[in-house]
Structure 1
């Protein structure tokens, strides 16, 4: 009997999966619902009679897992990146231009009539749902995960199994052994309305819009709740895979469709940007009649080899863009304007509105950016205003309806005192630096001068300080930081390192174990890499990459803190304004005190060392002269002057020797006049000498000893990390490679020197094999690091 039952169960599963495929993917149901229900009921009865024959990929197992206490974490082998946005036609044309420039000679020549070569784009509506990853092994769904922060998501495997159009086993044949499918889980308009109708009938809480309903449904700890929600899935791409796949984006999507995964019915190809724009207009016209909500159109370069060539920047691909639809607008009343205080002390106006529905979302607050924006709008409290959700996300006040202004409308005034701490609020001053002078003008930002004595600034500064990419103190969430500040246990980041067991255990929500865990996490953060520490300090305009650059180039906190703005500008991508922000931060007495306290309380910086080899003797006299902003002297004049004088002291002497200066070649009359006037001011000569002295001290001076960059064993090489490293994190592996001089890239190309492949390596490993790129497993990688002392 068991053999017969097993055969019938397999027949039923095949039949039901085929019906699911025809219904959800092809939209061509071959049997009425009653017949489908009969087959499903028979399968369920047989499995209940023979529980030993139940398998995870059975159609009956979409609801059956026990409720979870919490979601586990999933690290994405290939990050799930966000897309850049286009809001206007010119934005999309700029994207197309950047793509064509990036492809360069790879593009075929244009036609005989002068038309340029066209790029083929895959076009799809941008669904308004929740991005998820589905991992199939040998055709069976083994894991589902949310996008999370792009690198790490939540394990929602039990919940994605309940989504009816996600196949538990792939249809057909020929799929890769490992296949990660990426797509969007969403809720149709009809499903959303039915869900809210049931909630109202039951006296429960309704959802604001389909996207929130989909996201909330997918993140239920009880899969049975998720199963009761009308969720759908649509594939838009892949992540890791092991096996063969088509060489175009549309080819891959069509393959996914053949394996039972739904794709967009609106998928089309566009040849060139004009056809892409035409598709955007067609979809925009159909937007309100679609069965689901969308907020734009996604365009992707169709050829995968061209995608690889274009690569990525920061956290988005260069080969894809989301062209957003214009925001939907509504009228409402401005009830009040309140002011919030951020980490840097910026006092920002926020509009409090009479609640109104905009694009399916109840809006009661909107950004006003700054007081210049308030003045531009001519905004008064009591006004009727037009608001929109910019990019369908951020509510924004767009316009005042003047004819509806009430007689008792009140002007919006910036507070003279900080609404949090009572300190004075002052308007920022902008410094515009040009040849020979610096001029001041009023900025658009108002700041509280209370610094860390202001609880709002202190809380935000500490939240940033302890964050994962800064000091990475696990367990110090926003609420705990706020509590520590509110009870005055922490008045600066340095106070975190003086917290005692008795102080913490008495706080709300803490017991003995949680207190010990928190103190252990704080203690474990006492040895941060220099780059993380610099980022944690929260220097204005210094993000994670700039912090890494400062640490790698200058090598020590002492040099970074002492560095003059002009010296900092020798580092790549550090402009003069950012350089002044860095210099001003370390000049501030309070900041210096906090840093000193951190060091006194046991914070020991790691990965400090000498100036990086590539910056040794990197400066030239001509560059120094150009950076002094002498009126009339640009790069060419500075070079001629340096060659003529030979040294800074020679330049200073020449500037005051009119006869010698007059016969110096390569200088205009304006340049000679500017030079003489500049060095006639003693402070300018002192400034130039101070910069030169620091270049000597750091080893960057043109007369300093050069270091051979190639002395770093991996200098000039490009490496790629893929898969999971067991002995260290990917970030640590990247840092150790960079310390040896390598550049660590996110994709494999013919220029890649080596790929480090840990367990779970997928498409990058396959690409390395195709190109004949050297591959190391983790053991060989560790041996190489040990060999070079890295």
Structure 2
């Protein structure tokens, strides 16, 4: 076969494949390959057609905008075609674009200013939103029509749906707009809106979306506009089309500013720059800020600013010569799932990890990806051998987003959870979810599988000690992963308590240690022996107990002993601690092995720095009615519990009275089923003993309804949100956060209009800028330290 014949065959195959992908992407909103794979196919087709121009046909994907009008909608013909943009994937592409623009302007205008390696042409720059391109038509200032781009010539009539988008004005503001004005832009969904939409879908058992772009497209193309109205869609204008009966400014930038005055939303990131160097600087800046934006972007769009120059530069078959889309490195790529292995975490959780055929994603070679749990594997329908779409965003661990079922090989095999731990051989059990309510207990299977070997499992022991020593836990400087592995492998450390009995002679024998490093490590271990109660609780690695939950436990109960003794029915009185977390905490301290480790830690020198009483907020906190309601007595609701609490002065009196038929017969305000449920509940000796035990603990903790209420002193920063940014020299950011939280403040990672104070050290960046823009109070470190000192911190 000749080269020409090969080209004919390959071009036909590429056109067919691209058309199929276009249909799935633009019409069905169900793309089967990532953008990077599509771009490669399209790039290959353009190259072949450039080499064989005689094979270019009018219906080639390179000669028209992708997409087709959906038959369920009416169609609208664009009087001014909606063209797509040429793509740049490397700095060289940007340089070529800029040189081409400069060359054509020189040829048309005889200008010599554009002759250098950097043309100096003025461009507008704005983020390339990842959504759906639409056209909005205003007649006499009233929105009369909305359409998708479709194939660039004909789109779908989505007027009813775009009218539901909250930031699309139905009537233009101000005055001076043309009689007929067509604006063009992108309908998209913010990250927060996308996550909330998927969360609601999961709760209701509905279909979730793969990414914000699919969610936006699927929402905008609903046949029932009432559904669209419930979706968190937004519109951002980037240009215009048909204009009649009026004039617009003569530059791209000024036009967008004018549209904004008329109420059309435009990008806040819109900028004017000079030449390729200005474009590159914008690209790098917004690329660094990409993950902090509220919405997904996949690149930057450059446009020649002057409209007369745009007109002179003109168009190619499917794209303008005066604009370019500069893509970021692909965050999604297509690769092969070679195998699934299982890792054991510090709590014994068995986590599936995908082993992938190496692929470049966002500039990094990816060989592994998280699969979360077996439920996620089932949701994806993934099998070993599948072609999968892998996504990597920022520093997030790569994850498998989608399977491409049409590429599944015949020998693909299912993923199966191991029956025994891959590290220690102990049994693997599936967690159970316990739901309690009104005398009934239901048990369902959880998503997590766990090794039951606990600290007898080397993987759990190593991970438990790594967590114990971590910065936010005991903060043992220098005790990294490799050192922990040596200590465990040499059996020098069999529990976290053994860290505090290590000797110089043992440490100096470790690989990479000498006299100074050995003494430094031992000093760091010694320095960690007086932690706060919250840090110590977090360091223990109790399942479901993160840093914030540990702080709540420490603040509310005040001492390790009370936390150890607390019954789950008492723990649920504390804020944000539900039944599942309460039982995890209780079960942890009931484990004989955990009790032994805890006693050894205390015996080996751990002294908690801030133990005290139960916080005043919780003195007399439990009411008798709440207590009865939380016993989950069959058929007894909150109203019935209040009735009983009024009728019986004590729990003992209620228990005795519940078995007295005559007493209950005359009790009003309680139906017969509730009376029967109460009688049967307290007829069980175990129930009586449990109720009395809970009451006894509430009394011991001072939380009982008969306990003396204490006056709660308001914390000085209660209700305030603070933000720390830059480098603090007098203390770590973590230490500053702890001090602020001790004063009642909430410490956030982002600045908003609700932020009370921003503390800015050297190197503060975008957070400081935003604080200044919003008028938020800003303190330097000296002023911050003075405030802490004044508050006794």
What TM-score does the superposition give when structure 2 sets the normalisation length?
A: 0.57
**How far apart are 1:687 and its partner, in Å?**
1.0
Which stretch has the larger CA shift, 114-123 or 413-422? Answer: 114-123
Give 1:486's aligned residue. 489
Q: Secondary structure of the equivalent of 2:552?
A: helix
**How far apart are 1:691 and its partner, in Å?**
1.1
Q: Secondary structure of the equivalent of 2:664?
A: helix
Question: 2:279, 2:302 within 8 Å by CA — same for their partners in 1?
Answer: no
Give 2:388's aligned residue. 387
Q: Secondary structure of the equivalent of 1:388?
A: strand
Specify which of 630, 634, 651 is matched with residue 633 of structure 2: 630
Give 1:535's aligned residue. 538
**How many Å separate the matches in 2 of 1:637 and 1:782?**
53
Specify which of 253, 265, 279 is matched with residue 301 of structure 2: 265
Specify which of 564, 568, 572 is matched with residue 569 of structure 1: 572
Specify which of 320, 327, 344 is matched with residue 292 of structure 1: 327
Question: 1:330, 1:358 within 8 Å by CA — same for their partners in 2?
Answer: no
Greater Rg by CA: 2
Q: State how 1:24-35 maps to structure 2 within 5 Å.
A: none
1:437 aligns with 2:440: yes
**How many Å separate the matches in 2 of 1:390 and 1:37?**
36
Question: 2:98, 2:118 within 8 Å by CA — same for their partners in 1?
Answer: no
Q: State how 1:296-695 maps to structure 2 within 5 Å.
A: 337-350=340-353, 352=355, 355=357, 369-370=372-373, 384-389=385-390, 393-395=398-400, 398=403, 405-406=410-411, 414-695=417-698
**How many Å separate the matches in 1 of 2:276 and 2:498?**
53
**How many Å separate the matches in 2 of 1:767 and 1:564?**
46
**How many Å separate the matches in 2 of 1:635 and 1:736?**
39
Q: Secondary structure of the equivalent of 1:483?
A: helix
Give 1:175's aligned residue. none
Residues 384 and 542 of structure 1: CA distance in aligned 2, closer, same or farther (over 3 Å): same
**How many Å separate the matches in 2 of 1:632 and 1:682?**
19
**How far apart are 1:697 and its partner, in Å?**
1.2
**How far apart are 1:778 and its partner, in Å?**
5.2
**How far apart are 1:541 and its partner, in Å?**
0.8
Residues 616 and 91 of structure 1: CA distance in aligned 2, closer, same or farther (over 3 Å): closer
**How far apart are 1:588 and its partner, in Å?**
0.9
Unaligned runs of 5+ in 1: 1-19, 41-81, 96-113, 125-163, 172-180, 186-234, 240-247, 254-261, 268-288, 297-326
**How many Å separate the matches in 2 of 1:333 and 1:721?**
44
**How many Å separate the matches in 1 of 2:118 and 2:749?**
50
Question: 1:356, 1:363 within 8 Å by CA — same for their partners in 2?
Answer: yes
**How far apart are 1:445 and its partner, in Å?**
3.8
Q: State how 1:116-155 maps to structure 2 within 5 Å.
A: none
Which stretch has the larger CA shift, 625-634 or 510-519? Answer: 510-519
Question: 1:757, 1:778 within 8 Å by CA — same for their partners in 2?
Answer: yes
Question: 1:367, 1:397 within 8 Å by CA — same for their partners in 2?
Answer: no
**How many Å separate the matches in 2 of 1:541 and 1:566?**
17
**How many Å separate the matches in 1 of 2:334 and 2:766?**
44
Residues 668 and 347 of structure 1: CA distance in aligned 2, closer, same or farther (over 3 Å): same
| 1:138-168 Cα deviation digits (max 9, x unpaired) | xxxxxxxxxxxxxxxxxxxxxxxxxx97779
Give 2:286's aligned residue. 183
Q: Secondary structure of the equivalent of 1:504?
A: helix
Question: 2:193, 2:232 within 8 Å by CA — same for their partners in 1?
Answer: no
Question: 1:332, 1:356 within 8 Å by CA — same for their partners in 2?
Answer: no
Q: Secondary structure of the equivalent of 1:420?
A: coil
Question: 1:617, 1:702 within 8 Å by CA — same for their partners in 2?
Answer: yes
| 1:526-563 Cα deviation digits (max 9, x unpaired) | 12121111111111111111111111111111111111
**How far apart are 1:394 and its partner, in Å?**
1.1
| 1:330-350 Cα deviation digits (max 9, x unpaired) | 56665xx54322211123444
**How many Å separate the matches in 1 of 2:704 and 2:359?**
62
Residues 451 and 666 of structure 1: CA distance in aligned 2, closer, same or farther (over 3 Å): same
Which stretch has the larger CA shift, 720-729 or 452-461? Answer: 720-729
Question: 1:23, 1:29 within 8 Å by CA — same for their partners in 2?
Answer: no
**How many Å separate the matches in 1 of 2:200 and 2:471?**
34
**How many Å separate the matches in 2 of 1:731 and 1:345?**
28
**How far apart are 1:636 and its partner, in Å?**
2.2
Q: Secondary structure of the equivalent of 1:710?
A: coil
Question: 2:119, 2:276 within 8 Å by CA — same for their partners in 1?
Answer: no
Question: 2:757, 2:779 within 8 Å by CA — same for their partners in 1?
Answer: yes
**How far apart are 1:640 and its partner, in Å?**
2.2
Which stretch has the larger CA shift, 29-38 or 427-436? Answer: 29-38
Which stretch has the larger CA shift, 723-732 or 656-665? Answer: 723-732
**How many Å separate the matches in 2 of 1:685 and 1:775?**
57
**How many Å separate the matches in 1 of 2:196 and 2:790?**
53
**How far apart are 1:387 and its partner, in Å?**
2.6
**How many Å separate the matches in 1 of 2:388 and 2:754?**
50
**How many Å separate the matches in 2 of 1:722 and 1:339?**
38
**How many Å separate the matches in 1 of 2:369 and 2:755?**
47
Specify which of 194, 198, 203 is matched with residue 86 of structure 1: 194
**How far apart are 1:722 and its partner, in Å?**
6.2
Which stretch has the larger CA shift, 509-518 or 393-402? Answer: 393-402
**How far apart are 1:684 and its partner, in Å?**
0.9
Give 1:129's aligned residue. none
**How many Å separate the matches in 2 of 1:751 and 1:397?**
38
**How far apart are 1:737 and its partner, in Å?**
3.5
Residues 577 and 170 of structure 1: CA distance in aligned 2, closer, same or farther (over 3 Å): closer
Q: Secondary structure of the equivalent of 1:265?
A: strand
What TM-score does the superposition give when structure 1 sets the normalisation length?
A: 0.57
Q: Secondary structure of the equivalent of 1:474?
A: coil
**How many Å separate the matches in 2 of 1:749 and 1:533?**
32
Give 1:228's aligned residue. none
Question: 1:345, 1:448 within 8 Å by CA — same for their partners in 2?
Answer: yes
Question: 1:366, 1:396 within 8 Å by CA — same for their partners in 2?
Answer: no
**How many Å separate the matches in 1 of 2:498 and 2:191?**
39
Q: Secondary structure of the equivalent of 1:732?
A: helix
**How many Å separate the matches in 2 of 1:717 and 1:357?**
46
Question: 1:25, 1:263 within 8 Å by CA — same for their partners in 2?
Answer: no
Residues 662 and 385 of structure 1: CA distance in aligned 2, closer, same or farther (over 3 Å): farther
Question: 2:337, 2:355 within 8 Å by CA — same for their partners in 1?
Answer: no
**How far apart are 1:481 and its partner, in Å?**
1.4
Q: Secondary structure of the equivalent of 1:520?
A: helix
| 1:202-238 Cα deviation digits (max 9, x unpaired) | xxxxxxxxxxxxxxxxxxxxxxxxxxxxxxxxx6699
**How far apart are 1:413 and its partner, in Å?**
5.8
